[in-house]
């Protein structure tokens, strides 16, 4: 994925999703084209709970030296992870194999969704379907509707600036695929969301569009509560913990935004540095052509600088493709979480207002009316769901960021190691002294001091 001009994807031609044979009907292996980059779902699951979890996030310990977990909080977290990991896992979802579809009306990309599950909610043990971005968008909206008390993971950005970004470039599609994969995995990990009906259909249905049309008329049971929160209630006092969450998310999103800007600036500076390096190296070649004994060392320096330039280009590509998208994803996450918090405030406000109204009426003194009780239930459910989700979110956030920041550190280290190797390889060449009485030019490079 590094270097080279962005490549377009091979197109499958004008096919519609309906024409796709059922994965289990024929030989499904034939459909899996170009799947060498697809790790098995098991491997993917395991990766997020790998060796790196055992390393405390302190002072940049390089990967490979695992310091024993000493803080109790880390142990607690491992135990928490055990609940999700291992034997209890019964649903695996993967997004891969992007393909371009050229139709008369439009051109778009579909991704293959592979599902493996032993859950009773699934008729078959394995499914493979094709979905496009707007399907994901539909799913997310449905989840927000049907599970308003839960935090729904974010999708990668919907709109891209047409002139600036090539929607069909390999880099863009790969970045998007990773984000979509993350999206589905987060839902899969969620004890409530993963059992959602719409999610199930998304993973399994041959014809999603038919279901979508059906769903317009349907009103899900869980979604009723959403309709009844009309809003416009003023909140008396926000419970401390939710206020704290709100404040935290505000600052968190702010800091991530700053980091995003700094990272972009760094990439820009690195690219400008790269431009100069690409002019610098060849000058040594020009010089080398003038010289006799010095020709080889100078040519060596030129090649060395060329290698450093290539390494730098790889670094900037990696940062752009792997680092920035995750930051943006979490900013979007924070935004959607804030709106869920607002909804919670509304539910609480409604309950408080109704309660107050009853108190003022003074009629039903001992007995609280049914609808007030219902409001109270709703509020308490919401609070409980949200708290649980927040904890889960915090835990995942820690893992995600550890992986992200260590990845960034690793990429930088690799860059410097490549440069070091390039320079070290020419030191013997540079130290070859010419014969006595030879060139008065004594070439002692500063970097070998």
CA-based angle 65:70:74, to the nearest 5? 95
Among 5, 60, 64, 366, binds other proteins (CB under 8 A): 60
By CB atoms closer than 10 A (0-12, 13-18, 19+), residue 338 is middle
By CB atoms closer than 10 A (0-12, 13-18, 19+), residue 127 is buried
Distance (Å, whole) CA 268 – CA 317 = 11
- 40 near other proteins, judged by CB under 8 A: no
Burial pattern 425-441, b for ≥16 Cβ within 10 A else e, equals ebeeebeeeeeeeeeee
Among 134, 251, 339, 431, binds other proteins (CB under 8 A): 251
- 239 near other proteins, judged by CB under 8 A: no
Among 265, 342, 361, 387, binds other proteins (CB under 8 A): 265
Binding mask 430-449 for other proteins (x = CB under 8 A): ------xxxxxxx-xxxx-x
Among 20, 259, 368, 404, binds other proteins (CB under 8 A): 259
CA-based angle 21:31:86, to the nearest 5? 105
Interface region with other proteins, contact rule CB under 8 A, candidates 57-65, 126-134, 175-183, 376-384: 57-65
- 241 near other proteins, judged by CB under 8 A: no
Q: Write out the binding residues for other proteins, residues 65-104 only, by CB under 8 A.
A: 71, 73-74, 77
- 252 near other proteins, judged by CB under 8 A: yes
> Which residue, 358 or 429, is less far from other proteins as judged by CB?
429
Among 22, 228, 255, 342, binds other proteins (CB under 8 A): 255
DSSP labels, 46-96: HHTTSGGGGS-SSTTPPTT-PPPP-SHHHHHHHHHHHHHSGGG--EEEEEE
- 258 near other proteins, judged by CB under 8 A: yes
Helices (H) and strands (E) in the chain, counts: 12, 3
Minimal distance, residue 247 CB to other proteins, in Å: 8
Burial pattern 297-308, b for ≥16 Cβ within 10 A else e, equals bbbbbbbbbbbb
Distance (Å, whole) CA 232 – CA 234 = 6
Binding mask 391-420 for other proteins (x = CB under 8 A): -------x--xx--x---------------
Minimal distance, residue 371 CB to other proteins, in Å: 39
- 290 near other proteins, judged by CB under 8 A: yes
Structure tokens at 48: 């997020």
Distance (Å, whole) CA 295 – CA 297 = 6
- The dihedral region occupied by 257, where left means phi > 0, alpha psi between -120 and 50, and beta the remainder, is alpha
Interface region with other proteins, contact rule CB under 8 A, candidates 199-207, 228-236, 268-276, 339-347: 268-276
- 248 near other proteins, judged by CB under 8 A: yes
- 283 near other proteins, judged by CB under 8 A: yes
- 280 near other proteins, judged by CB under 8 A: yes
- 240 near other proteins, judged by CB under 8 A: no
Q: How many residues does the chain have?
A: 449
Among 33, 160, 266, 427, binds other proteins (CB under 8 A): 266
- 57 near other proteins, judged by CB under 8 A: yes
Structure tokens at 279: 């002019």
Among 16, 29, 58, 65, binds other proteins (CB under 8 A): 58
Q: Which 3 state secondary structure label does DSSP give 214?
A: helix
Among 92, 138, 202, 284, binds other proteins (CB under 8 A): 284
Please answer whether residues 187 and 199 qualify as being in contact, where contact means their C-beta atoms are separated by less than 8 angstroms: yes
- 387 near other proteins, judged by CB under 8 A: no
- Contacting positions for other proteins (CB under 8 A): 56-60, 71, 73-74, 77, 248, 251-252, 255, 258-259, 262, 265-266, 269-270, 272-273, 275-277, 279-280, 283-284, 286-287, 290-293, 398, 401-402, 405, 436-442, 444-447, 449
């Amino acid at each position: 994925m590094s270097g080279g001009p962005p490549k377009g994807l091979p197109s499958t031609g004008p096919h519609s999703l309906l024409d796709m044979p059922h994965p289990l009907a024929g030989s499904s292996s034939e459909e899996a084209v170009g799947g060498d980059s697809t790790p098995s779902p098991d491997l993917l699951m395991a990766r997020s709970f790998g060796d790196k979890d055992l390393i405390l996030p302190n002072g940049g310990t390089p990967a490979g030296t695992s310091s024993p977990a000493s803080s109790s909080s880390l142990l607690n977290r491992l135990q928490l992870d055990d609940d999700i990991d291992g034997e209890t896992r019964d649903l695996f979802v993967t997004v891969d194999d992007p393909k371009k579809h050229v139709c008369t009306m439009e051109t778009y990309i579909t991704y293959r969704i592979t599902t493996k599950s032993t859950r009773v909610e699934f008729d078959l043990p394995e499914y493979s379907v094709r979905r496009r971005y707007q399907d994901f968008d539909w799913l997310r909206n449905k989840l927000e509707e049907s599970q308003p008390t839960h935090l729904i993971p974010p999708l990668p950005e919907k709109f891209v600036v047409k002139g600036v970004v090539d929607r069909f470039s390999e880099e863009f599609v790969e970045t998007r695929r990773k984000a979509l994969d993350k999206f589905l995995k987060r839902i899969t990990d969620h004890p409530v969301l993963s059992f959602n009906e719409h999610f199930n259909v998304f993973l399994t249905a041959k014809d999603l569009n038919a279901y979508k049309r059906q769903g317009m008329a349907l009103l899900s049971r869980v979604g009723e509560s959403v309709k009844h929160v009309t809003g416009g209630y003023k909140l008396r006092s926000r419970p401390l913990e939710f206020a704290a969450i709100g404040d935290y998310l505000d600052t968190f999103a702010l800091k991530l935004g700053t980091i995003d800007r700094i990272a972009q600036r760094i990439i820009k500076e690195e690219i400008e540095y790269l431009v100069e390096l690409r002019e610098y190296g060849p000058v040594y070649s020009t010089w080398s052509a003038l010289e006799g004994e010095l020709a080889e060392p100078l040519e060596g320096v030129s090649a060395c600088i060329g290698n450093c330039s290539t390494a730098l280009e790889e670094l900037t590509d990696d940062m752009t493709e792997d680092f920035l998208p995750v930051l943006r994803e979490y900013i979007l996450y924070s935004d959607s979480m804030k709106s869920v918090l607002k909804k919670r405030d509304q539910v609480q406000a409604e309950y408080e207002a109704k309660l107050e109204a009853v108190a003022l009426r003074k009629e039903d003194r001992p007995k609280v009316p049914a609808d007030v009780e219902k409001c109270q239930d709703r509020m308490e459910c919401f609070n409980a769901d949200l708290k649980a989700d927040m904890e889960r979110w915090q835990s995942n956030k820690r893992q995600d960021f550890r992986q992200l920041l260590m990845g960034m550190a690793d990429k930088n280290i690799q860059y410097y190691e490549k440069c070091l190797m390039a320079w070290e390889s020419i030191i013997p060449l540079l130290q070859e002294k010419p014969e006595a009485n030879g060139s008065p030019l004594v070439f002692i490079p500063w970097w070998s001091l």
